[in-house]
Amino acid sequence: MATAQTDWVTTAIQYLEGCARELPAGDRPDPYWADDVAAGVIASVRALIGVDELHARTESQFLGQPRKEPSADA
């Protein structure tokens, strides 16, 4: 679910940035390290559970059938 993933990423980045602010100035990582860490976790989890392969298999299973667009109510 995209919203849950976005919420998790936002929360993770805010937490990591807060932790970095508590470090002495000379020990703080670069400004985008929290984004990189969150992206790495997402990529690792996707690879671990095979999301990309699952998506590809699902798409190939329904190849040739018209794709149903989500309704505005969903």
Tokens coding 50: 């095979």
67 lies in a domain? no
Q: Which of 14-23, 43-52, 56-65 has the lowest mean pLDDT?
A: 56-65
The angle formed by the CA atoms of residues 51, 13 and 24, to the nearest 5 degrees, is: 140
Residue 12: how many CB atoms within 10 A of its CB? 17
Domain count, the chain: 1
Is 20 within 8 Å of 34 (Cβ atoms)? yes
54 lies in a domain? yes
Is 16 within 8 Å of 33 (Cβ atoms)? yes
72 lies in a domain? no
With 90 as the cut, is the pLDDT of residue 49 above it? no
29 lies in a domain? yes
With 70 as the cut, is the pLDDT of residue 52 above it? no
Average pLDDT of the residues in 15-29? 95
Q: What value does the mean pLDDT of the chain take?
A: 80
71 lies in a domain? no
Can you give the residue range of the structural domain that contains 39? 2-61
39 lies in a domain? yes
